[in-house]
Structure 1
Amino acid sequence: MGRFCGFLAGIAAISLVAGSLFGATAHAAPAVTAKQAHCEVSSGREAQRAAPARAGFDAELLDAALEFASHRNRLNIQVFRHNCLVGEGPNNAKTDNVAWNVWSVTKSVVSVLAGIAWDRGLLDLDAPIDKYLPPGLGDAAHRAIKVEDLLTETSGMTVGVLTEGITGVVPIDPHSAVQALAVPLDNPPGTVFSYSQRNVDLLTFVIELAIGEPFQQFAQRELFDPLGILRSDYYWAKDRAGNTYGYAHLMIPPNDLAKLGLLMSNEGRWGADQLVSEEYLRMALTPSQANPCYGYLFWLGPDCAESPSFMPPDMYMMAGLGLQNVFVLPSLDLMVMWTGVFGNVSSQGVSGIVQNTDELPYEFFRMLFAAMPENPVPDPGPYVEPPVRLDPRRFVDPNLLLAVFGIGPAAYPGCNVFSCLNYPLAPPFADIAPGCFIVVCLGHDPRTPGIH
C-alpha cells in the first residue's frame, strides 16, 4: 500500500516530469560457475559491468525485456547478476544521475539505518519508544509502542495513506512525529499490520533521539559515505521542525539507489566492510507474525505487493509509489532496480492500475527469466488480471488531514500548522530545494550541487 502514498497529489506532477525528461530472509548466493563473471562492488560513480553472456543471459532476449520495460514508463532500469551490471534501460544515460523521489522505498532505507544503529548498541528494538521520547511527549498508550512495532508496521495506528501523506507532499507538516503520537490506535501495538505513513516518521524521530545526532548526518557517515553516495547527490525532505520524513521523500539518483540494492544483495557487506550485520538483516527479512509479506519495512516473497506470484520464495524488495522498486533474488544472485511512472496496464481503469501493480513486474520477469538459458523459473504464462477489490475509503481519513490544523480527534494538543509545542518551525515549503518538485530534482541548488 505504500505505493498509494501521495497518489492523488503526485500523479499529475509525475507525468509532467516524465514528459519533460523524455520529450525526446537472507540466503547464501548460488555458486558462480567458471563460465560466469563475478564483479566487485564499487564506491565509484560507475558499477562494474559484464557482458550478458558472462552472467548467464541471452543478450538479445535481455535487450528485449529492457526495451519492453522502457516502453512501460520505466525511466531507468538496471539488472545486476553476481554484482555485475549486465543490463541497462535505453533511457539510462538521461536518468542515471537524476534525483528521483523513490517514495516508500525510503522506508526500507530507514530500516537499514535502524539496523546500523542496533548493531552499534544505540537502538533497542525490543524497547518501548518511551525509552527515547522526551518526558511528557505522547500518552502512555503511544509511548508503549515498541521500536520493533514501528519496523513491522504494527504500531496499531489508524491508517489513511493518502491523507497521512498529503501534508508531506504539500509540505506543511509542523512536526510529523508529534502528529504521529496523536493518531488514534485501532489495535494494540504489535498485533495487527496497518500500513501507516506516520508510523515511519515516528521511527526516524526515535532513531535520531537514540543515536544522539541528526538522522541524516548519521545516514551519510554510516551508510552513504561507504557506498560512495555523495551528500550532494540526493535530497531527503524534512518537516518544518527539521525531522526527516521516513515514509517517503528520499530523492536519490538511480545509480545510487542501485548501490543500496547491491548492499542488500551482498547481505550487508560492501567490499571488505560489513555496513549492517547479517543478524539484523535476518530479522529484517523474516516475516512478522502479523503479515507474512512484511518484515522490517521490506516486502517479502512472491505475490506480495509488486512481486509476481512465480518469483523464487527467497525474493524480497523495496517498493514505492509508481513502481519504484529494488528486487533482490538471493538464490539467483540477481538484483533489479528500476524507477518510473507506473506503466502497468489494466482493463479496469484507474482503479485497476492502482490495485494491480504487479502486472508490469510479472510480464518483465517472464521475459527476464526467459533470457536466462538455465531456465530458473518456468514460464507461468501471461498475466491474468484479478477483479478490482480496491476500496478508496481504506486510504482516506479526513481526521488525519484536519489534525494538521489542530482540529479533530487525531490532533495533538498544541501542535498545528501555526505552532507545535515549543519546537521552532520553518515556514511552510521552506525545505523544498529549488528545482525539486514532489517527484524529481532537476535544478541546481547550493545544498545539493550534484543534482542537475
Structure 2
Amino acid sequence: MNLEWQYSTPQAEGMDAEMLGDLDDFIKQKRYRLVNSVLVVRNGKIVFERYYNKYNENTRNQIKSIWKSILSLLTGICLDKGMIRSLDEPIGDYLPAFQRGVHPYHKAITIRHLLTMSSGIFWNGGVHYHCPMVEQMKRTRDWIAHVADVAMKDYPGSSYVYKEWDVLLLSAVIGNAFGNTSYELCEQLLYKPLGISSGRWAESPCGVSYTVMKGEEHSNLSARDLAKIGFLVLNNGIVEGQRIVSEHYIKEMLRPNDNNSSYGYLWWILENGYACKGFGGQEINILPKQNIVTVIQATPTPSSKTYGDIHKEILEKSVV
C-alpha cells in the first residue's frame, strides 16, 4: 500500500478560499521569511498547498522533534506486534545499563515513563535548548551507559520534564525489541506502507538511532510526508484500508498524561485536536471534528521561532 494524495478545492471541502488566499500577505506582514511549506488536507484530500524559499512538494525539511511523535507511533507498532509486552515493562528489560543498580530508581523506569517524559532523570536543556548535556554525552561511545550514570532527580512517573534522554532511551528500547534499530522498524512498518521516503537516521556509536540532535540531516521529510503521518493519526491508525497502528494505542497516545494535561505519549494535546511540533517551527496539527490535517515547515535557527499563528489565525479559521 502506498498513500497517494487526491486533490480538491477549498470550496468543495467547506473551506474559505479567500481567507486561505490571504496567507501570503499574512506571512509577509509577520516577516516569516523562514517559513518553507504550508499544507492543508481536509476529508483526505489536499485542498491548499504553498511553498516558499524555492521549496516544492518534493523538498524535504528538517523534522526536529516531530521525530519524538514518530517514535511514539513506533512504540504502538511494537506493542501491537508483541515485540513489547506492555508499556509498564521496566526499560531495564531492554537496556542492561538500567539493570545494574547504578541508581535504585532505575528499575522503576518503564516504557510509559519515557513516552510521557517522566523518567525522573536529571535534565538541563541550557540556553535556547542547546542541550550541553547532550554534547557531553556525544563525546562518549556508549550513550545509554552515559545516561544511566546521570543523576536521578525525581521518582519515575512523578513529574513531567521535556528532555532528550527519554526519547533516546525509547529509541534504544524500540531497536532492541525489534532486533535492529528504530529506523529500520520505522522504514519497514511505518514509512514504507505510507509511501514516505527518508534517508537513514543517524546512529550513536553504540547503534541507537536518533534525529533530534546534530547529524539528523538525512531524516528530513516533505510537507506531504508529514501530512501522511497526520492523516494516519486522524484515521485512528488506518490508511487506505490497512491497519498500521491499533486504534486502542492511538487513543491512549492522545490522552493527556497525569503530569501534563497538554501532553500525551510524545504528542501535544490541543484545545480541539492534537499536534506534533519540532524546533524552529515544524508542525503537524490534527483537528478531528473538522477532519483536517495542517502542516507547517520552516528553516530552524538557534532562536527557535514558531509559527503556530499561521494555523490558528488562517488555516483553522478558514473552515466554513
TM range (shorter): 0.7 to 0.9
Secondary structure (helix, strand or coil) at the match of 1:331 reads: coil
1:333 maps to: 291
Secondary structure (helix, strand or coil) at the match of 1:122 reads: coil
The change in CA–CA distance for 1:321 and 1:296 in structure 2 (over 3 A counts) is: same
Secondary structure (helix, strand or coil) at the match of 2:231 reads: helix
Matched, 1:109 2:81: no
**Percent of pairs identical after alignment?**
28
The change in CA–CA distance for 1:51 and 1:69 in structure 2 (over 3 A counts) is: same
Q: Distance in 2 between matches of 1:42 and 1:55?
A: 23
Matched, 1:236 2:236: no
2:188 maps to: 221
For residues 220-271 of structure 1, the C-alpha deviation after alignment (integer angstroms, 9 at most, x for no partner) is 11111100123xx334222122211165533223222221111111111111
Give yes or no for contact 1:74–1:339 (8 Å, CA) kept in 2.
yes
Give the drift of 1:104. 0.8
Q: Distance in 1 between matches of 2:283 and 2:121?
A: 26
Q: Distance in 2 between matches of 1:253 and 1:93?
A: 13
List, as ranges, runs of 4+ consecutive aligned residues in structure 1 with deviation greater than 4 Å: 135-138, 170-173
Q: Distance in 2 between matches of 1:145 and 1:370?
A: 42
Give the drift of 1:363. 5.2
Q: CA RMSD in A?
A: 2.6
2:175 maps to: 208
Give the drift of 1:164. 5.0
For residues 9-47 of structure 1, the C-alpha deviation after alignment (integer angstroms, 9 at most, x for no partner) is xxxxxxxxxxxxxxxxxxxxxxxxxxxxxxxx9524xx2
1:43 is matched by which residue type in structure 2? L
Give the drift of 1:166. 5.2
Give yes or no for contact 1:66–1:88 (8 Å, CA) kept in 2.
no
Q: Distance in 1 between matches of 2:212 and 2:252?
A: 20
Secondary structure (helix, strand or coil) at the match of 2:284 reads: strand
Q: Unpaired segments of 5 or more residues in structure 2? A: none
2:241 is matched by which residue type in structure 1? A
Q: 1:100 aligns with which of 57, 61, 64?
A: 61
Q: Distance in 2 between matches of 1:51 and 1:92?
A: 24
Give the drift of 1:364. 4.4
1:159 is matched by which residue type in structure 2? W
The change in CA–CA distance for 1:184 and 1:334 in structure 2 (over 3 A counts) is: same
Secondary structure (helix, strand or coil) at the match of 1:112 reads: helix
For residues 295-352 of structure 1, the C-alpha deviation after alignment (integer angstroms, 9 at most, x for no partner) is 10001123xxxxxxxxx2xx11001100100001111111101110369xxxxxx9xx
Give yes or no for contact 1:99–1:235 (8 Å, CA) kept in 2.
no
Q: Distance in 1 between matches of 2:266 and 2:295?
A: 17
Q: Distance in 2 between matches of 1:128 and 1:240?
A: 24
Give yes or no for contact 2:39–2:46 (8 Å, CA) kept in 1.
yes
Give the drift of 1:215. 2.1
Normalising to structure 1: TM-score of the pair? 0.62
Q: Distance in 2 between matches of 1:103 and 1:258?
A: 16
2:146 maps to: 179
2:113 maps to: 149
Query: Whose Rg is larger?
Result: 1
2:160 is matched by which residue type in structure 1? F
The change in CA–CA distance for 1:364 and 1:68 in structure 2 (over 3 A counts) is: farther
Give yes or no for contact 1:176–1:202 (8 Å, CA) kept in 2.
no
Give the drift of 1:48. 1.2
2:155 is matched by which residue type in structure 1? P
Give the drift of 1:60. 2.3
Q: Distance in 1 between matches of 2:250 and 2:168?
A: 21
Secondary structure (helix, strand or coil) at the match of 1:181 reads: helix
Matched, 1:277 2:239: no
Give yes or no for contact 2:59–2:222 (8 Å, CA) kept in 1.
yes
Q: Distance in 2 between matches of 1:145 and 1:90?
A: 43
1:416 maps to: none
Q: 1:129 aligns with which of 91, 116, 122?
A: 91
1:36 maps to: none
Q: 2:3 aligns with which of 37, 40, 43?
A: 43
Secondary structure (helix, strand or coil) at the match of 1:291 reads: coil
Matched, 1:256 2:225: yes
1:430 maps to: none
Give the drift of 1:196. 1.4
The change in CA–CA distance for 1:240 and 1:214 in structure 2 (over 3 A counts) is: same
Normalising to structure 2: TM-score of the pair? 0.86
1:258 is matched by which residue type in structure 2? A
> Which residues in structure 2 correspond to 1:46-65 (within 5 Å)?
47-65=5-23
Q: Distance in 2 between matches of 1:149 and 1:188?
A: 10
- Kindly tell me the number of residue pairs found equivalent between the two proteins: 306
2:250 is matched by which residue type in structure 1? L
The change in CA–CA distance for 1:237 and 1:147 in structure 2 (over 3 A counts) is: same
Give yes or no for contact 1:164–1:197 (8 Å, CA) kept in 2.
no
Matched, 1:85 2:49: no
Q: Distance in 2 between matches of 1:119 and 1:92?
A: 41
Give yes or no for contact 2:41–2:47 (8 Å, CA) kept in 1.
yes
1:76 maps to: 37
Q: Unpaired segments of 5 or more residues in structure 1? A: 1-40, 303-311, 344-349, 375-452
1:368 maps to: 315
1:361 is matched by which residue type in structure 2? G
Matched, 1:297 2:281: no
Secondary structure (helix, strand or coil) at the match of 2:11 reads: helix
Give yes or no for contact 2:119–2:166 (8 Å, CA) kept in 1.
yes
